[in-house]
Structure formats: structure tokens, C-alpha cells
Amino acid sequence: MTDLLVVVGARPNFVKAAPILTAAERAGLTFALVHTNQHYDDSLSRIFFDELGLPSPHVQLGIGSDSHARQTARIMLAFERELLRIDPQIVVVVGDVNSTLACALVAAKEHYPVAHVEAGLRSFDERMPEEINRRLCDHLSQQLFTTSADANENLEHEGIAADRVAFVGNPMIDTLARCLDAARERRVAARFGLAGGPYAVATLHRPENVDDPVVLARLTAALASVSRLLPVVLPLHPRTRERLERNGLRELANGVRTTTPLGYIDFLGLTADADLVLTDSGGLQEETTALGVPCLTLRESTERPITVTAGTNTVVGTDPVRIVSAAKAALEREDAADAMPPLWDGNAAERIVDGLAAALERRIELARTGS
């Protein structure tokens, strides 16, 4: 019987799952990797497998894009068949995308233990689909691996027993630490004519920002204004590119240098040497915290408050005036934050696998004794 069935579906999942699979292999645990193909574009999927050394998925569900309801339902239907065929001891899900919830729900209904990596994060904004995914997935899981102390507090407040929760650190930072030197060696900024000079990196992809033409126009205007302070590099997510073109916002100010999506290592190198990051990504808030790069979160809330208390991240919303003001303040600030959150030490995956191995031993013992 396979020890672990590990589910990935979208770009952030790959970065978190890679060190866990490596640690599992070192520990002698068997696993099957299931890719739902929620992200299916080569620039958001295949390149990550190549660069992160992820094994080829044992199963690809081929789901693709759709509405939240249809995508979740299609993942559930396809995953149920593979789950019963593989018959693992534990199902491991990471993050908060639709694939995470869909597979956790199927596993729980089929009475397979679920382990949730990156549990307990809360924005307390129920308008975010990811917030719904996070909450439901946590309450379906038997093992909850958290990245920060506030996540443990959130789970305690929701009545989840402490013996199901383990504070292990952040596996995304494991991957960052492993790849950082190689990323800097690529000198990605030079490709944009920015070597040695100040520049900012921006990303936009969340539906609440790019699907609303009014909000997207505000953010586009904000980036144009920031580009007058320093050059801005904006790798365009396919969804964002389509929305910009649909709404006639494709022509940005000259200072905003748009590009196709970058692979993980190229984007890490570009971010590591930036003077400022503007983003609506949760993972990038964490990566900039680890890198000590000032970050402005273009949302009204964050599920990662540790990135704010560590001093690198400021939640600024979508108002252009506020964004530009915060950008000026961040660029003028001389005391760069360099406080690494506890257990963001590059060893989170080992702690996660230790917890999974202990759970497997308990299951074996229970099966042996029949208790």
C-alpha cells in the first residue's frame, strides 16, 4: 500500500510540495503524486516540475479552468476514482486552492486521513474563495501542519484539538533557501536592462483584482505611477493578460515592463534583488519576508499576518494614492527588516515528514493490535 498520496494543482502547491516529496523519499516513505492540472499552462506548471526536481506525476487529472463550482466538482469526480485505485495510508494536501479542498473532501468522505500543509491561515475575509477552502479543509483534516504561531491560535479558536496541530515552519522557504544562490546567478534583472539599478516587481492574479474592470484600472494606474519612481517589472499571469486586453488596459506606462510568466528560479532571482514588490499573492508575501524585500500587498487583508509583524509587508489595498504613498515610504526606509519568522529555517519539510511517519506508525500499530 502507498504511504502517501500527495495532491498538487497550482503553482504555489508545487513550491511547497517539492521539499516534502524529497524528505519523504529520504525517509523511505512511498508516495503517489496526483496533479489535478488546475494550473495547466506550461509557464505555470511544467517548468516548475523541471526546475524544482519534482517527479513526474503518477496521475494527471486534466481538469483545467472553470467556474469554482464546476472546477471543484470535476476535480472531486476525477480524484475519487484515483484515490480508491491508489488506496494510500494518508492523503496530503497543500495550500488553499480549489484542488486542496476538493481532494480533502473526497478523501474525508472515503474515510482516508487527511494531512493539510499550511493549515490555520485566516484572512477573515469570506469573499475570498481561498478563505472558504482553508477553513473547510482544516476541519476535514486529521493532521494540520502550520507555518506560524497565529495559525495555531486560529485553529484553537475554531475548536480544533491541539493534538491534531503541529507548528512545523514553512516548506515554501525550504525551496527558496535551496534555490536562492542559483536564482541570483542567473542575473535576471540584466535581461530587463536593470542590472545595478533600483527596480520593483509586481504581480496581479487574484479574481477580485483582475476580474473587476474598475479595480484593475485602479491597480494599473497605481503601477504606472510607481513606475515613475523606479522601473516596474510585471510578469503577466494568463488570466491577467486576458483581462487587460478585454478591458483596453493592455497599454501600460512606459516604466511598466510586462513579460510572460517567469519560471520559479528566474522569478526568485528577480525578486531577491528588487527594491520593492507589489503583489496580491500570498506566497510572495512570505518569500519577500524571507528575503528582506519590502512588499506592498494589493489587497484589503492578508491571511499571513506574520509577514506584517516581521516588518517587510504592508497591506495597502487597491487605492492608487495609498499605494503610491506606501511605495515612496518603503523606498525611503533605511532600516530594512530582516527578522526571519520562527522555524522558517529550511527544515520544515523534514518536520512535516516526521509527523507523517509517526502517524503511519500509529496506523500500523492500530492495525496490528486491532484496537
DSSP codes of every residue in 245-271: HHTT-----TTEEEEPPPPHHHHHHHH
Is the domain of 195 the same as that of 282? Answer: yes
Handedness of CA 16, 72, 137, 125 (dihedral sign): positive
* Mean confidence (pLDDT) of the chain: 93
Indicate whether 158 belongs to any domain.
yes
For the cut 90, the answer to whether the pLDDT of residue 338 exceeds it is no
Give just the sign of the alpha carbon dihedral 291, 297, 298, 304: positive
Residue 186, domain CATH: 3.40.50.2000
Could you tell me the three cell numbers for 217? 484600472
pTM recorded for the entire structure:
0.94
| 188 shares a domain with 286 | yes
Domain containing 118 equals 4-170+344-369
Whether 18 is covered by a domain: the verdict is yes
Given a cut of 90, is residue 166 above it in pLDDT? yes
Q: Please determine, for residue 347, whether its predicted confidence score (pLDDT) is greater than 90.
A: yes
Classify residue 15: in a domain, yes or no: yes
Read off the DSSP letter of residue 139: H
Q: Assess whether 238 and 273 both reside in one domain.
A: yes
Instruction: Give the separation between CA 144 and CA 163, rounded to whole angstroms.
Output: 9
Q: Is 313 a domain residue?
A: yes
Q: Is the predicted pLDDT of residue 106 greater than 70, yes or no?
A: yes
DSSP reduced 3-state for 348: helix
Q: Is residue 339 part of a domain?
A: no
In this prediction, residues 302-320 reach a mean pLDDT of: 95
Label residue 119 by pLDDT band (50, 70, 90).
very high
pLDDT(247) > 90: no
Give the tens place of pLDDT for each residue, 128-137. Answer: 999 999 999 9
Does residue 338 sit within a domain? no
Which pLDDT score is estimated for 125?
Answer: 93
On whether both 313 and 348 belong to a single domain, the answer is no
Whether 205 sits among the annotated catalytic residues: the reply is: yes
User: Same domain for 148 and 195?
Assistant: no
Angstrom distances, CA of residue 163 to CA of 6, 212, 342: 22, 42, 20
Residue 45 has φ and ψ, to the nearest 5°, of -135, -75
The DSSP H or E segment spanning 135 is helix 129-140
3-state helix, strand, coil in the chain (%, to 5): 50, 15, 35
Question: In the chain, how many domains are there?
Answer: 2
Region 175-203 average pLDDT: 94
Q: Is the pLDDT of residue 365 over 60?
A: yes
Cα dihedral sign for 139, 140, 142, 148? Answer: negative
Q: What is the DSSP letter of 43?
A: G
Find residue 254's DSSP bridge partners.
Answer: none
User: Which has the minimum average pLDDT: 43-57, 81-95, 123-137, 339-353?
Assistant: 43-57
Given a cut of 90, is residue 335 above it in pLDDT? no
Q: Based on the domain organization, do 112 and 166 belong to the same domain?
A: yes
19 and 153, same domain (yes or no):
yes
| Alpha carbons 338 and 346: distance in angstroms, whole number | 16
Residue 5 in this model has a pLDDT that exceeds 90: yes
161 and 84 co-located in one domain: yes
For residue 12, tell me if it sits in a domain: yes
Q: Is the same domain home to 163 and 254? A: no
152 and 209 inside one domain: no
Do residue 278 and residue 357 come from a single domain?
no
Of 181-195, 201-215, 272-286, 333-347, the least confident: 333-347
Confidence of residue 65 (pLDDT cuts 50, 70, 90): confident
pLDDT confidence tier of residue 371, bands split at 50, 70 and 90: low
Given 35, 116, 205, 237, the catalytic residue: 205
Say if residue 131 is in the same domain as residue 50. Answer: yes
